[in-house]
Structures are given as structure tokens and as C-alpha cells.
Structure 1
Amino acid sequence: MSRLETRFAQLKQEGRAALVTYTTGGDPDYATSLAILKGLPKAGADVIELGMPFTDPMADGPAIQAAALRALKSGQTLAKTLNMVREFRQEESETPLVLMGYYNPIHRYGVERFLAEAKDAGVDGLIVVDLPPEHDAELCDPAQAVGIDFIRLTTPTTDNNRLPRVLNSSSGFVYYVSVAGVTGAGSATTEHIEHAVTRLRQFTQLPLCVGFGIRTPEQARVVAQLADGVVVGSALVDQIAKANSSAEAVEGVLSLCNSLAEAVRSARR
């Protein structure tokens, strides 16, 4: 079993949802970002998404756009992001780690080279926002062939005719974007999420994780009652943006992660 399969199977046995956290690799700088990354499992993150910074992050709102720009300004590259994963894996062998981003940097790096290095570094999955199923041969198929899961996004506008095409090649988990628009946008209602999860379960047996617009422990608790995972990104990235020092950034992210984890773990009690 992959790390993702193992983690979600464990959480199903425990009767709780996963906390899935997102931060951008290299934000605000390599050392601070690595310290945050290494601290997330102990702070309660069950699955980690690490962003690959890109100059044109079309699906991201202002918070994550700014994070990508901070990272790129500090010299972050795709090679450095992969090296962060290697350093993370020196201490942490169980927590699944997924790289999230856009196809352009991977294409420029070279797909074969990228996948070989990602697998060697300890990457478990990929979320590539701008590669639809029609382009599976570009990255999805090669990634799964080397044992890296390819995680699909579904949205409120992905209708029942489209869902099978989107989900048939998915692996790892399904990421449900709960609001139309960019990251950090307004949050969906409980009724909307409940309906969406029920609908998606008709099409896939994969774990369903819900993200976009979840910022507080209370919001995370509500979603954790309905879905298999709760994804939080912009709220964590905001802790970095408002910090006055590296230490303050690390403390802010890990403290919020702790609070979110407590809420997720208590949601079904």
C-alpha cells in the first residue's frame, strides 16, 4: 500500500477525517519553509501538500499568489522543492506528501527527470491544477506508472456526465473544490458540502477531501463530520505573510495547525 492508502485506511479505522495542510515550498525562504514542513506532522497534519511555486498560479487567490512570489524571490526552484522533500524524508517516513502546482515548471524540468527525482525524494502524489484528463498521457499515466498518485480536482461545476472522465484516472484521494473561484475565497455551506460529498461517493471509492475557503477550526470541524479529509491552505499561508520573523512564521503555522487538528479529531466524537 502507498503512504496515502495506508494513512486513509488508518484514519478510517480511527473513525475520523484527515487534516490536509498546504504551504508553498520556499515561502518565505528555504530554511523557514523547511522548518514548517518538518513541524507539520507533529502539529497534527495527516497529509501534507507542498506547493511548487509558479509565476502564474491561475487557480490561486491573493494569499497563495503572494506566497509563490515570496518563494520565487527568495530563490526557490523546482529542484529546491524536491530537495526539501528529501530533507523532510530524512526524519519523517510515514506522513504522505503531495506536490501541488502547475504543469509548466514540470514540463520545463522534463517529465521523466521530474518523476524519477520526485519518486526518489519520497513524493507520494501530485495535484496538477491545469492538466485535465484529456492530457493524461502527459503526466498522469507516467506518474502512476512509477508509483506516484495523481489526484484530481472536482468542482461544483463538474457535472455527472463529466465526473466519470475526471475520476476514472484518479488515485490517492479526490480533492473537492467546494467553492467556484480561487483559493481563499468564501466558504461553502454545510448543506452544499454534504450534497457534494453524497454525489461524489456515487462515482468513486477514493477518499474525498474538501478544500477552498476553510480557514478556522470550527469550519474544519464541520467539514470533518462530512468528508474524509479537510484541506486548509490560505489560512496557514496567511500566518507566514503576517509574521515579523522566521520563528514567528513557524510558530504561527504550527500553532494554527494544532488547533485545526484538534477540531478535526474531535469532529465525530
Structure 2
Amino acid sequence: MTRIDDTFARLKSQGKKAFVSYIMAGDPDVATALAVMKGLPAAGVDIIELGLPFTDPMADGPTIQLAGQRALEGGMTVDATLQMVRDFRAADQKTPIVLMGYYNPIYSRGVDRFLAEAKEVGIDGLIVVDLPPEEDAELCIPAQKAGLNFIRLATPTTDAKRLPKVLQNTSGFVYYVSVTGITGSAAAQAGEVGPEVARIKRSTELPVIVGFGINTPEAARTIAGVADGCVVGSAIVKEVGAGKPAADVLAFVADLAKGAHSA
């Protein structure tokens, strides 16, 4: 049982949906990003997705691409990202952290070294968007053996033939991408998402969390209402990118969390 598993078990016993938030490590600088990260649990965030900055984020829209560029220009590295998690864990041993990004920085560091370090600092799961199930031996299976959840994305184009392959080594939760395309590109629609979530849940006992295209408390409520919870990323990153102080970003997050938890 990981922190992620424990969190979903607790939420289920309480009859609550999960609210997951995404921020980019080191955006716009380490101090601000860490202040926001430390405040997320009190703002109602159940699981934190922490972006690992990368130079070629092909699945991300302009908002998150710019966040990654700001972080990299500020000197953010894999080491600094791991240290950010370590600093967060000094005061919070409960909130799950999922590191989200691309395989290149992990491969460059060395899979075994990276997984050992990730486990040591307190990372609970990975979302690596450019590693398909056919490459599970690269990272997915080693990550599971190291005690980390490996969370896979399902999309509107994941058909009945493909879905079992996507689910076969997934753990923690399934991340359903509500729209085709990049992050921040369109609004999620509960009427379209609901049947897809139900289809996935017929094939797995894992929670299904919906992300992409959620940017208001009402959207968080309606999408969480047809799933086990929702993820908000670009809308939060946009607040950071606008130069707002951590307290204002966290107030925005708290409103989103209330929406999700009211589902």
C-alpha cells in the first residue's frame, strides 16, 4: 500500500472524491514553488502532481510549456526537484506526491539511481507520458518493484482493444485525459467523460481520475461527479505564471478543491 492507495481508501470511506493538483517544480522559482506546494494540502489537495521540467514537453500546451521554460531558465534540475520533495516531506509525510514528466531526464540519470532517489525523498508514483505499455520493462516494472505506483494515461482514443494493454501494469489510479490534444486546449464535458470513465471502470478496480480542461470550481464538481476525482493543472499554473503570490494561488486552489469535494 502506497500513500496513494491509502488516500483513495480514506476518501472512499468518507464518500468523497479526490482533488489532484499539478504544479511545475521550480516555477517561477524554487522558493515560490515550494511555498505553493507546502500549502496545497491545507487548501484541500489530496494528491500533488509535481511536474519535472523538460525541454521538449510534447503533451503539454503553452501554459505548462512556459512553466517548464521558466523553471529551467531559473536553474531547475532533477536534483533540485528531488530536493524540493525532500523539503516538503520534512513537514508532511502523508500527502501523496506523483512526479509527472518525460522519460529523457530519468533515462539520462539512470533508471535504478533515479528510482532509488525518488523513493528515498518520498515520491509515491510516476506519470511518464512518453513511455507506452510496450516499453514497460524500461521503467514501469522497475518502478513497481521499487514500491512506486506507475500511473498510466487513458484517452478518448483508447479503444476496447487498446485498453487492456494500457491497464495491465498500471497502479495507483488511472488518469483519464478528457480531451484529445494537449493540456489546456479545451474544456472537459461531463456528459462525454462519464460514459468513458464507466467504460474504463468496467475493466479495472483502480480509481479513475479525470484531467485536462478543468479550470473552475463548477467544472471540478461536475467532472469529479462522474469519476473518482479530478486533476487541475494548467489553470493553477496560469495563476503562478501571472506572478501571483503563493497565498493567492492557494486561495484559487482551495476554491477548486471545494468544487471537487462537493461532487
**Normalised-by-shorter TM-score class:** over 0.9
Q: Distance between the aligned counterparts of 1:42 and 1:71, measured in 2?
A: 24
Q: Does structure 1 residue 250 correspond to structure 2 residue 257?
A: no
Q: What amino acid is aligned across from residue 163 of structure 1 in structure 2?
A: L
In the TM superposition, residue 188 of structure 1 has moved relative to its aligned partner by 2.8
1:123 aligns to what? 123
CA contact (8 A) 2:189 2:223 kept: no
The within-5 A match list for 1:230-249 is: 230-243=230-243, 248-249=244-245
2:34 aligns to what? 34
Q: Distance between the aligned counterparts of 1:86 and 1:111, measured in 2?
A: 19
The within-5 A match list for 1:183-262 is: 183-243=183-243, 248-262=244-258
Q: Distance between the aligned counterparts of 2:99 and 2:46, measured in 1?
A: 15
Q: Distance between the aligned counterparts of 1:239 and 1:254, measured in 2?
A: 10
CA contact (8 A) 1:16 1:224 kept: no
Which runs of 4 or more aligned residues in structure 1 lie more than 2 Å from their structure 2 counterparts after TM superposition? none
Per-residue displacement from partner, 1:135-187 (whole Å, max 9, x unpaired)?
00100011000100000000000000000001010000000000000000111
Q: Distance between the aligned counterparts of 1:189 and 1:110, measured in 2?
A: 40
In the TM superposition, residue 189 of structure 1 has moved relative to its aligned partner by 1.9
Q: Distance between the aligned counterparts of 1:185 and 1:252, measured in 2?
A: 24
1:12 aligns to what? 12
Q: What secondary structure, in the 3-state scheme, does the structure 2 residue paired with 1:203 have?
A: coil
Identity %: 58
In the TM superposition, residue 226 of structure 1 has moved relative to its aligned partner by 1.1
CA contact (8 A) 1:240 1:252 kept: no
Q: Does structure 1 residue 139 correspond to structure 2 residue 139?
A: yes
CA contact (8 A) 1:172 1:207 kept: yes
Q: What secondary structure, in the 3-state scheme, does the structure 2 residue paired with 1:222 have?
A: helix
Q: Distance between the aligned counterparts of 2:249 and 2:153, measured in 1?
A: 25
Q: What secondary structure, in the 3-state scheme, does the structure 2 residue paired with 1:43 have?
A: coil
Q: Distance between the aligned counterparts of 1:55 and 1:249, measured in 2?
A: 26
Q: Distance between the aligned counterparts of 2:189 and 2:40, measured in 1?
A: 28
Unaligned runs of 5+ in 1: none
2:112 aligns to what? 112
Q: What secondary structure, in the 3-state scheme, does the structure 2 residue paired with 1:147 have?
A: coil
Q: Distance between the aligned counterparts of 1:77 and 1:108, measured in 2?
A: 12
Q: Distance between the aligned counterparts of 2:229 and 2:76, measured in 1?
A: 29
Q: What secondary structure, in the 3-state scheme, does the structure 1 residue paired with 2:205 have?
A: coil
Q: Distance between the aligned counterparts of 1:40 and 1:189, measured in 2?
A: 26
Per-residue displacement from partner, 1:182-218 (whole Å, max 9, x unpaired)?
0001113221111111110111110000000000000
Q: What amino acid is aligned across from residue 28 of structure 2 in structure 1?
A: P
Unaligned runs of 5+ in 2: none
1:97 aligns to what? 97
1:173 aligns to what? 173
Higher alpha-carbon deviation: 188-197 or 169-178: 188-197
Per-residue displacement from partner, 1:50-97 (whole Å, max 9, x unpaired)?
000000000000000000000000000011101111111110011100
Q: Count how many residue pairs are aligned between Structure 1 and Structure 2.
A: 263
Per-residue displacement from partner, 1:210-237 (whole Å, max 9, x unpaired)?
0000000000010111111110000000
Q: What secondary structure, in the 3-state scheme, does the structure 1 residue paired with 2:23 have?
A: strand
Q: Distance between the aligned counterparts of 1:180 and 1:161, measured in 2?
A: 18
Q: Distance between the aligned counterparts of 1:134 and 1:97, measured in 2?
A: 25
Q: Distance between the aligned counterparts of 1:229 and 1:80, measured in 2?
A: 30
1:61 aligns to what? 61
Q: Does structure 1 residue 263 correspond to structure 2 residue 256?
A: no
In the TM superposition, residue 14 of structure 1 has moved relative to its aligned partner by 1.0
